[in-house]
Amino acid sequence: MVAEKTDAHRLASAPGMWLERFGSDLLLSYQSEAARDVVLAELDERCAAYSFQPRRIFGKYLPQHAAERGAPALLRGDATLPLATEVREANILYGLDFAVGYSAGLFIDQRVNRARVREYRPRRLLNTFAYTCSFSLVAALAGAETVSVDLSRRSLTRGEENFQRNGIDPKAGHQFIPDDVLAVLPRLARREEKFDSIIVDPPTFSRNQTGEAFQVQKDFDRLVGLALEVAAPGAKILLSVNHSEMRVTDLERIARIALHLQRRTGRFSSSTPPADFPPGHGAKTVWLELT
């Protein structure tokens, strides 16, 4: 097992698949049915090695194209149990729902970065592509005001529920904006709003309300530039992507160009991946601290 106090972590990885534990449930992500069946055949032995008996096992197919993504399917276990549940990470509760979409509600490869935000104790955090607002939540627990932006009103509602399940009033010093990040950032800049912590963790691909596509390889530089326009002096900015062809060096290169264009300076630092993620797995992340 891993050292972090958490109910959500990765148990194993192999080419074409990975296995994650969410509380009493397992989520098997796979790129082929053959890989899925091999893991299922070996699962009893794998679970015995971790002294863990899963309540349910869900399977999630990883397609090549985002349009083919679907919600996880129950592979083993009691189908009458509710698909909504909770997990605890660093004594923080997060809601999960295996029925609502491609992710159950928490990206566990960002665990170290969530802890880092809480250690920073920001005064005002901007969370772009916020999803269920896990970064906003840890900042709020450290006393910050937060602004969470995501196209999905449903995801932001789940974020507000995460605030409530941890005893935080989501209406007290916190904003949840269901809109296109690339449209919201210029509005914040025009109002001269500033943030001392910013999360830039976009999806690989998405479409806004008018059908306009966001593609991380094409649009990340614009996104970073817009984020810098609302960054306060000394701000700490998380740059993160999950695209297979982008590397940490790409993130730094893009950020250096954006800094140069805006006549700003900063230094970069990396995060140690969670102990349960082998090298090359999980999001590529780097922190930029403005100087």
Residue 209: pLDDT over 90:
no
Nearest to 236 by CA among 262, 263, 264, 268: 268
- Write the single-letter amino acid at 136: S
With a cut of 80, say whether residue 2 has pLDDT above it. Answer: no
Q: Is residue 130 part of a domain?
A: yes
Mean pLDDT of 13-24: 86
Domain-terminating residue out of 78, 97, 116: 97
Residue 1 predicted with pLDDT over 50: no
| Burial 180-191, CB ≥16 within 10 A → b, else e | bbbebbeebeee
The Cα 203–Cα 13 span in angstroms is 22
Residues 154 and 42 in one domain: no
Q: Please provide the DSSP assignment of 156-182 as one string.
A: HHHHHHHHHHTT--TTSSEEEEES-HH
The enclosing H or E element of 190 equals: helix 181-190
Q: Judge whether 102 lies within some domain.
A: no
CA-closest candidate to residue 229, choices 184, 267, 273, 279: 184
The angle formed by the CA atoms of residues 283, 199 and 141, to the nearest 5 degrees, is 110
Rounded to 10°, the helix 248-261/216-229 angle is 40
Dmax (CA) for the chain in angstroms is 58
What phi and psi, each to the nearest 5 degrees, are found at residue 263?
Answer: 55, 45
Task: Indicate whether 203 and 283 sit together in one domain.
Answer: yes
- Cα end-to-end span (Å), the chain: 39
- DSSP 3-state percent helix, strand, coil across the chain (nearest 5): 30, 30, 35
- For residue 3, is it within any domain? no
Confidence (pLDDT) at 5: 53
Give the structural domain span for 59: 8-97
Lowest mean pLDDT among 34-48, 79-93, 144-158, 192-206: 34-48
Claim to verify: residue 14 and residue 152 sit in the same structural domain: no
Rounded mean pLDDT, 184-188: 98
Q: Beta strand 284-290 with 231-241: parallel, antiparallel or unpaired?
A: antiparallel
**What is the arithmetic mean of pLDDT over 115-135?**
97
pLDDT of residue 47: 86
DSSP secondary structure code for residue 273 in this structure: P
Residues 117 and 37 occupy one common structural domain:
no
37-73 residue pLDDT tens: 988 999 988 888 888 899 999 999 988 776 678 889 9
The answer to whether residue 103 sits within a structural domain is no
Report yes or no on 44 lying in a domain: yes
pLDDT per residue over 216-258, tens digit each?
A: 999 999 999 999 999 999 999 999 998 889 999 999 999 999 9
Q: How many domains does the chain have?
A: 2
Percentage of the chain lying above the pLDDT 90 cut: 74
At 3, the pLDDT band (50, 70, 90 cuts) reads very low
Residues 128 and 157 in one domain: yes
Which residues partner with 87 through β-bridges?
Answer: 94
In this predicted model, what pLDDT tens digit does every residue of 64-104 receive, in sequence order? 776 678 889 999 999 999 999 999 999 999 999 999 877 89
Specify the CATH number for the domain of residue 236: 3.40.50.150
How many percent of the chain have pLDDT more than 70? 98
pLDDT, residue 4, reads 47
User: Taking each helix axis from N to C terminus, what angle separates 216-229 and 181-190, rounded to the nearest 10 degrees?
Assistant: 20
Are 272 and 141 in the same domain?
yes
